[in-house]
Amino acid sequence: MANWTEADIPDQQGRTIVVTGANSGLGLHAAKALGKAGARVLLACRSPERGEQALAQVDSPDAELVRLDLADLSSVAAAAKEIRERTGDRLDVLINNAGVMMTPKRHTADGFELQFGTNHLGHAALTWLLMPALRNGTGARVVTLSSFMAQFGWVDIKDPNFTGRRYLPSFSYCQAKMANLLFALELDKRLRAADEPVASLAAHPGYSATELQANMARSRGSGLLEQGAKFVNGISAQPARIGVLPELYAATAPEAGGGDYIGPGRFMELLGHPKKVSVRRAKGQERTRERLWNLTAELTGVSPDPV
Q: Are 303 and 297 in contact (CB under 8 A)?
A: yes
Q: Which of 298, 261, 303 is nearest to 157 (CA)?
A: 298
The strand pair at 261-266 and 271-276 is best described as antiparallel
Reply yes or no on whether 173 is catalytic. yes
Three-state secondary structure call for residue 113:
strand
User: Using CA atoms, how far apart are residues 244 and 287, in angstroms rounded to an integer?
Assistant: 31
Helix 169-193 and helix 123-135, axial crossing angle in degrees, nearest 10:
20
Question: What ranges make up the beta strands (E) of 189-268?
Answer: 198-203, 208-209, 238-239, 261-266
Q: Are 97 and 31 in contact (CB under 8 A)?
A: no
Please give the single-letter amino acid code of residue 307: V
The one catalytic residue in 173, 207, 249, 261 is 173
Residues annotated as catalytic are 173
